[in-house]
Amino acid sequence: MKHKHLFSFGVLVISMLLLVACSKKERGPRLIVHVQEEDGTPAAGASVHAWYGQNAGTPGHTLNEILMDQTTATDGAGDAIFDFKFSAVLDVDVIYYKNYLDTLLNPVTDTLIGHRVVKIEEVRQKSSENNYRETVEVK
Is the pLDDT score of 126 beyond 60?
A: yes
In angstroms, rounded to a whole number, what is the distance separating the alpha carbons of residues 31 and 26? 16
In angstroms, rounded to a whole number, what is the distance separating the alpha carbons of residues 56 and 66? 13
Q: What is the pLDDT of residues 24-37, one digit of tens each?
A: 566 789 999 999 99
Phi, psi of 41 (to 5 degrees): -70, 130
pLDDT at residue number 7: 67
Give the predicted TM-score (pTM) of the model: 0.75
Q: What is the pLDDT of residues 69-106, one digit of tens each?
A: 899 999 999 999 999 988 888 999 999 999 999 999 99
Domain ranges of the chain: 25-138
Are 132 and 30 in contact by the 8 Å Cβ rule? The answer is yes
Look at residues 70, 85, 80, 73 and name the one whose alpha carbon lies nearest to residue 29.
85
3-state class of 62 per DSSP?
A: coil
Look up the CATH number of domain 25-138.
2.60.40.10
